[in-house]
Amino acid sequence: MATPEVRTSTPRVTEGSTDAGTVAWTRAQTAAFLGPRLEPEQLARVGAAFEGNRLRGAYADPDPTPVATLRSWDAELTVPGGTVTADTITGIGVRSTHRRRGLTDRLLTEDLGAAARAGAAAAVLTSTQGALYERWGFGLATRTRSLTVDTARARFRDPVARGTVETVDRPDAALALARPVFERARRRHPGALERLASQWDQILVGAGPWNGFEPDRTRQVVVWRDDDGRPAGYVVHRVEEGWFASGAATLGVVDLQVLTPTAYVELWRHLCSQDLVGTVTWSSASADEALPWLLTDPRAAVVGEDHAMLWLRVLDVPGLLSARRYPTEDALVLEIDDPLGHARGTWRLDTHDRIAPAVARTGGDADVALSVTSLGAVVLGGVDPRTLARADRLAERSPGAAGRLARMLAAPSVPWNGTRF
């Protein structure tokens, strides 16, 4: 069998119709993820949402449908104290008849190389499987926790509500209010990603191949305004279980973003005080939600399962390390191993200048030696380098260096990305 050829395209949407190559690419990607077989117009609709993205495929000519797929685009990624451009990757799928022939390896290696040449500081992805992407240098950088609230038990320590809440029905009106809040909020969370229009659509409307493109009509958007009438937070929620059976519905939080602690309290107060609602759940909350601490009985909010969220692969060491800010003034030499070469080398990170940290190649002795995978895990401050040292995934070459690196990389808040892709 001939070796499939790797090709890259971008969707072309003209007068509402999507080009045949994108439709074929979308068919292949849906099948690899065991999705439903879609009608041509549904495939065209999914493909159109990929406008502006890079669609990579491995093609066994003359079949126009690829046997392996990968989709990527550039998005701003928040790092502590700044942002960088990240190659954002999804849709990695291989036809069941073509697995384990190195096709993912070819597509991913090519995508990472192109992103590095284009100047992306990092690449990010989310993964269905934990053991898959470390081999290409991705380290687990952000996690999420589930949060489940028993509304009957949830009493707020501060009983006085402030500001005003407003429900917004129309998705376009909701977007106009929610987007500016999100744009500011995401810059406060290391690990947060800029959103595509299609991601907003998924969040606010909830229509996609998985539900036959039927909008999720139980979705509601609630905006909180401060005393000056300014929107300072919003929540998108949906009904996960109706009230008919038990008399108390379960509301699922789809997205919750705030600019002030008060907005956070008041949106949760609103969620917990609705008639007919017994439980509120949020599967992708941050690992350090304040909610339990706001309640007279912290156990009314149960912090549950921990999930891997964002895997990060460093492509440009000086680009990434000099874009973030550091809480301590220090200098360390890092020896980074990278089988693909992008981050390989010995680098001196000097944070004495808090505004302009310096990163340069050096011939000096290393204080810390680590793989690019370990660097991806620690660089946003979500994993303590000392933990990786205990797991034999980071080596301390000078005494106390892992602790110094931990203090340098500490983030102002726990890294969190609330956008699935």
Task: For residue 112, state whether it binds ligand COA (rule: CB under 6 A).
Answer: no
Kindly state whether residue 202 participates in binding ligand COA, applying the rule CB under 6 A: no
Task: Pick the stretch among 91-99, 325-333, 341-349, 351-359 that binds ligand COA (CB under 6 A).
Answer: 91-99
Give me the count of residues in the chain.
421
Answer yes or no whether residue 210 interacts with ligand COA by CB under 6 A: no
Query: From the CB of 128, what's the least distance to ligand COA, in Å?
Result: 4
Strand order in the sheet with 331-337: 358-361, 345-350, 331-337, 368-371, 394-396
Backbone angles phi, psi at 177, to 5 degrees: -85, -40
240-247 CB contacts, 8 Å cutoff, 24+ apart: 240/281, 243/276, 243/277, 243/278, 246/278, 247/276, 247/278
Q: How far is the CB of 50 from ligand COA (least distance, A)?
A: 16
The sign one gets for the Cα dihedral 33, 38, 42, 48 is positive
Q: Are 170 and 157 in contact (CB under 8 A)?
A: no
Site string for ligand COA, 51-90 (x = CB under 6 A): -----------------x----------------------
Contact 262, 228 (CB under 8 A): no
Shortest Å distance, C-beta 52 to ligand COA: 21
Q: Does 131 interact with ligand COA (rule: CB under 6 A)? A: yes
Q: Which of 105, 166, 183, 306 binds ligand COA (CB under 6 A)?
A: 105
92: contact with ligand COA by CB under 6 A: yes
Residue 31 sits in the site that holds ligand COA (CB under 6 A): no
104 is in an annotated binding site: yes
Number of neighbours of residue 268 by Cβ within 10 angstroms: 27
Residue number with CB closer to ligand COA (264 or 421):
421
DSSP codes of every residue in 111-130: HHHHHHHHT-SEEEE--S-T
**264 an active-site residue?**
no
**Does 103 carry a binding-site annotation?**
yes
Q: Is the preceding omega at residue 62 within 30 degrees of 0, hence cis?
A: yes
Considering only residues 36, 52, 102, 339, which one is a binding residue for ligand COA as defined by CB under 6 A? 102
CA–CA separation, 421 vs 419, rounded Å? 7
* Residue count, binding to ligand COA (CB under 6 A): 19
| Among 77-85, 123-131, 261-269, 341-349, the segment contacting ligand COA (CB under 6 A) | 123-131
CB 172: neighbour CB atoms within 10 A?
8
Spatial CB neighbours of 167, under 8 Å, sequence gap ≥ 6: 220, 221, 222, 223
Three-point CA angle 200, 265, 263, nearest 5°: 50
The Cα–Cα gap between 108 and 71 comes to 10
Measure the CA–CA gap between 111 and 114, rounded to whole angstroms. 5
Instruction: Output the smallest distance, CB 71 to ligand COA, in A.
Output: 11
243 — phi, psi (to 5°)?
-90, -5
Known binding residue 102? Answer is yes
The CB-of-229 to ligand COA minimum distance in angstroms stands at: 43
**Cβ distance to ligand COA smaller for residue 65 or 274:** 65
Interface stretch with ligand COA, choices 125-133, 203-211, 261-269, 282-290 (CB under 6 A): 125-133
Annotated catalytic, 156? no
Question: Is 99 one of the binding residues for ligand COA (CB under 6 A)?
Answer: yes
By CB under 6 A, name the one of 93, 191, 206, 381 that touches ligand COA.
93
Q: Select 33 or 210, whichever has its Cβ closest to ligand COA.
A: 33
Closest CA to 421 of 195, 213, 159: 195
- The answer to the question of residue 129 lying near ligand COA (CB under 6 A) is yes
Catalytic residue positions, numbered: 133, 421
Task: Indicate the annotated binding residues for acetyl-CoA.
Answer: 92-94, 100-105
Binding site for ligand COA (CB under 6 A): 32-33, 68, 92-94, 99-105, 127-129, 131-132, 135
